[in-house]
Amino acid sequence: MDTIYIERAVKDHPQTVRIVQRYPDARKILIDRYTAVFNVNTQNFRLQKQNPALILAEKHDTKVLTAPPDYNIGGKHNYYFSHMMNCIYDCRYCFLQGMYNSANYVVFVNYQDFFDAITETTNRHTEPSWYFSGYDCDSLALEPVTLFMDACLNYFSTHAKAHLEIRTKSTQIRSLLKRDPIDNCVIAYSLTPDPIARAVEHKTPSVQKRIEALKSLSEAGWKIGLRFDPLLNAEAFKTTYQTLFDTVFDQLDTDTIHSVSTGPFRLPKPFFKKLVKLYPEEPLLADKFTQQGSLISYPVDDENDQMAWCEEQLLQHIDPDRFFPCV
Amino acid sequence: MRLVARLTAIAVDRVLRTAPTTWQPVMVSLGSVPVSVGISRYPGQALRGIIPVMLPFIVIVAALPAEATPLKTHWNLSPTGDTAYRSWHNDDMLLVESGIGKCNAAAATASALTGIINAGIAAKRIICINHGIGGGLYDLGTMVTAHAINDDATGQTWYPSLTFKPSGATATVVCVDAPASDYTADTAFDMESSGFYSAARRFVGAEFIHCFKTISDNPDHDITTINKARVIDLVQGSLASLTQSIDRLVALHATAFDTADIEAMVNTIKENMHLTRTHGHQLRRLLERHQALHGALPTTATLLDLKRASVLISTLTQQLDGSVPRY
Ligand code: SF4
């Protein structure tokens, strides 16, 4: 990280001070609001990804948002939150490339405000609420720098009515293994067949490393989740995914798996168009796509076939009550 | 500009590899403005059938004759004959002398960029630079790169995108309306940056607009002692840093995806077949998909054999919709 932008209002915030200390050689630039750097619309996400800057900011507006209707793993009240925008990984299908003008990382340092918002949201319901982290970023990838998840788990460990899903591809699990697992948290890994992951999930840990992380976490007593989302089309789709399922279930004790979900590859049309403009040479984006309402997806029949086939395969390994197709 | 020359050769070679043997590289100049390098499909008729090649084209805006002269000599630039602003050029570069102050800088920048874009140089090819003298708490002759540009009169601030790695120190450049000497740390004063930057960002991508300031006055060298000879000396002394930063910007630019070969093919088809605007867009994307899914473009002859645009589009679509990414 050779440039850190810091909002003046949080320059003395303990998280800011701690993070900045990690980068003694970085240039530090004080700014009023992160939007002055992040939202500039003539930036090129693809070029910026080569050398992203870090922006330390304060989250002012809504900190907890309602999750889309089918986004759940068994809970009735589902929400998501993001302490960070953007990701150190570079998956070619990632919607963040379509959503943001900038590839710089924004970290919101007012962690406590997120926890206060979660308390307030949880108190609105009598049943437990679920909170999905890692919607606008990868939950753990920058954890050694942010320590957000550590703070988050401290919070959730004392708020049993609030349940947390940490979604990640990162193998930065040392801090998780150091602490006692908590019952209201699931660590969920996104998994893609190895050859596809190598081609399109740039800079991510290998699928095998992710499986090993899942294994370590489950052995340490953490609830684990498997997320086959998005399902990506490929020549020999079934063989490719079959190999992935076999590899995963050969190595994990299925009794320790809290939930398994699948999801199709869908993007809002403007995001998809932006991705194509950024990466016209990308095979993944050169496939056959159709428009369903405001979304771009694989043709409906293909998508349904892929979802149904994966469901059939997965249900050979796990009970239906642990399977959640997110459509 | 050895790097630019080398990139020129690479890009021309890349287009010529898939082109008919009669096509030739050409150096093109339209009116007083160079169009850099193109490929002529009609050798001997220099202005007919030129395919522009995606290469960086560098625009430098300097305020004073003493700031422009060393650059003109260094890059061996010739006068363009432009009457509104004195300017010089070679095949890769245009140097404009704006006069003092942000209004002059804005007007000269807008005029230069409009001129070259109208002459056929795509905005995405342009790297736009403001270089000149400034005051600050740095050693005399130090070149600083603006990491923020602050218009002293309006309070507006811009943050140039530091995706490339600047050579040497970076600073907030405060653009003042009259010479100033109340120097503060990490800050340089100048009189053109905000005008230049606000104008350039209307044309050019954020990664490729930068201000470089060579320190001409500091607490030990009073602003009133600046004279023409000293300015020439200082600018000459900062040429190594300036060239290094430009080389790094050119290297970053070279990583942008270049669609010159696809453009060339679309142009050839257009000359031999009636294509509507929509057909043109569709064909461009189909060729991108072809390259992504099959690793190469189809041959021009195969496409021309299809005779009609609608047949061409439907045949290519059908063919590509039957192709699936291979991983
Ligand atoms: S890991 Fe997730 S957030 Fe990060 S780039 Fe990949 S898809 Fe996007």
Confidence check: pLDDT of A220 > 60:
yes
Residue of A nearest to B201 (CA): A42
Q: Which domain holds residue B171?
A: 57-255
Higher pLDDT, B124 or A181: A181
Between chains, do A42 and B204 touch, taking CB under 8 Å as contact?
yes
* A170 Cα nearest atom in ligand 1: 1
Q: Which of B205, B252, B288 sits opposite A286 (nearest CB)?
A: B288
Within a 10 A sphere around the Cβ of A221, how many other Cβ atoms? 12
Residue of A nearest to B321 (CA): A288
Residue B205 three-state SS: coil
User: From atom 7 of ligand 1, which residue's Cα is the shortest distance away?
Assistant: A94
* Domain final residue, candidates B239, B255, B271: B255
The answer to whether A207 faces chain B, any CB pair under 8 Å, is: no
Whether residue B326 lies inside any domain: the answer is no
How far is residue A186 from each of residues A131, A147, A165, A240, B100, measured CA to CA in Å? 10, 18, 5, 27, 62
> In angstroms, rounded to a whole number, what is the distance separating the alpha carbons of residues A206 and B279?
42
State whether the Cα torsion A29-A33-A36-A38 is positive or negative: positive
Whether residue B107 lies inside any domain: the answer is yes
Structure tokens at B31: 């009116």
* B64 and B211 belong to one structural domain: yes
Whether residue A264 lies inside any domain: the answer is yes
- Portion 271-300 of A in contact with B at CB < 8 A: 276, 279-288
User: From atom 3 of ligand 1, which residue's Cα is the shortest distance away?
Assistant: A137
* B243 and B283 belong to one structural domain: no
pLDDT in tens, chain B (327 residues): 344 444 455 555 555 555 556 556 555 444 444 444 455 555 554 444 444 455 789 999 999 999 999 999 999 999 998 888 999 999 889 999 999 999 999 999 999 999 999 988 889 889 999 999 999 999 999 999 999 999 999 999 999 999 999 989 999 999 999 999 999 999 999 999 999 999 999 999 999 999 999 999 999 999 999 999 999 999 999 999 999 999 999 888 888 877 878 888 998 999 999 999 999 999 999 999 999 999 889 999 999 999 999 999 999 999 999 999 999
The answer to whether A243 faces chain B, any CB pair under 8 Å, is: no
Task: Taking residues A134-147, report their average pLDDT.
Answer: 93
> In angstroms, rounded to a whole number, what is the distance separating the alpha carbons of residues A29 and A298?
43
How far is residue B11 from each of residues A46, A92, B54, B155, measured CA to CA in Å? 20, 26, 7, 43
- For residue A90, the domain's CATH number is 3.80.30.30
* B243 and B205 belong to one structural domain: yes
Q: Which of A44, A48, A199 sits opposite B327 (nearest CB)?
A: A199
Instruction: Convert the pLDDT of each residue in A87-140 to its tens digit.
Output: 999 999 999 999 999 999 999 999 999 999 999 999 999 999 999 998 899 999
* B121 and B179 belong to one structural domain: yes
* B280 and B237 belong to one structural domain: no
Structure tokens at A280: 């016209």
DSSP code at position A322: G
- For residue B210, the domain's CATH number is 3.40.50.1580
- The vertex-A257 CA angle with A253 and A259, nearest 5°, equals 155
Whether residue A187 lies inside any domain: the answer is yes
Whether residue B213 lies inside any domain: the answer is yes
Whether residue B140 lies inside any domain: the answer is yes
Instruction: Convert the pLDDT of each residue in A250-282 to its tens digit.
Output: 999 999 999 999 999 999 999 999 999 999 999
Contacts of B291 in chain A (CB under 8 A): 281
- Identify the pLDDT of residue B13: 58
* Domain final residue, candidates B54, B69, B86: B54
Contacts of A280 in chain B (CB under 8 A): 257, 259, 285, 288, 292
The one-letter amino acid at A122: T
- Identify the pLDDT of residue B83: 81
Between chains, do A27 and B170 touch, taking CB under 8 Å as contact?
yes
- Identify the pLDDT of residue B49: 47
- Identify the pLDDT of residue A327: 80
User: Does residue A87's CB lie within 6 angstroms of at least one atom of ligand 1?
Assistant: yes
Contacts of B288 in chain A (CB under 8 A): 276, 280-281, 286
Within a 10 A sphere around the Cβ of B273, how many other Cβ atoms? 17
User: Does residue A188's CB lie within 6 angstroms of at least one atom of ligand 1?
Assistant: no
Contacts of A48 in chain B (CB under 8 A): 161, 163, 207
- Identify the pLDDT of residue B39: 55
B102 CA → ligand 1 middle, Å: 42
Q: For a ligand 1 pocket test, name from A49, A84, A88, A91 the mutation site with the most ligand atoms within 8 angstroms of its C-beta.
A: A91
Residue B77 three-state SS: coil
* B9 and B130 belong to one structural domain: no
The one-letter amino acid at B168: G
Contact at 8 Å (CB) between B8 and B37? yes
- Identify the pLDDT of residue B33: 43
Q: Which domain holds residue A212?
A: 57-325
User: Does residue A137's CB lie within 6 angstroms of at least one atom of ligand 1?
Assistant: yes
* Domain final residue, candidates B208, B227, B255: B255
* B312 and B265 belong to one structural domain: yes
The one-letter amino acid at B259: T
* B64 and B169 belong to one structural domain: yes
Number of domains in chain B: 3
pTM of the model as a whole: 0.91
* B197 and B95 belong to one structural domain: yes
Q: Which of B157, B292, B327 sits opposite A286 (nearest CB)?
A: B292
A118 CA → ligand 1 middle, Å: 24
B327 CA → ligand 1 middle, Å: 19
Contacts of A50 in chain B (CB under 8 A): 163, 252, 255
DSSP string computed for B8-68: HHHHHHHHHHTS-TT-EEEEEEETTEEEEEEEESSTT-TTSSEEEP---EEEEEESSHHHH
User: Does residue A89's CB lie within 6 angstroms of at least one atom of ligand 1?
Assistant: yes
Residues β-bridged to residue B187: B172
User: Does residue A94's CB lie within 6 angstroms of at least one atom of ligand 1?
Assistant: yes
Whether residue B327 lies inside any domain: the answer is no
Question: ipTM of this predicted complex?
Answer: 0.92
Q: Which of A5, A32, A283 sits opposite B325 (nearest CB)?
A: A283
Between chains, do A280 and B162 touch, taking CB under 8 Å as contact?
no
- Interface mutation target, options A44, A272, A277, chain B, most CBs of B under 10 Å: A44
Between chains, do B165 and A284 touch, taking CB under 8 Å as contact?
no
- Interface mutation target, options A3, A41, A106, A240, chain B, most CBs of B under 10 Å: A3
Number of domains in chain A: 1
Structure tokens at B296: 């190469």
Instruction: Convert the pLDDT of each residue in A58-83 to its tens digit.
Output: 999 899 999 988 888 989 999 999 99
CA distance A298 to chain B (A): 11
* B161 and B14 belong to one structural domain: no
* B12 and B75 belong to one structural domain: no
Whether residue A155 lies inside any domain: the answer is yes
* B40 and B65 belong to one structural domain: no
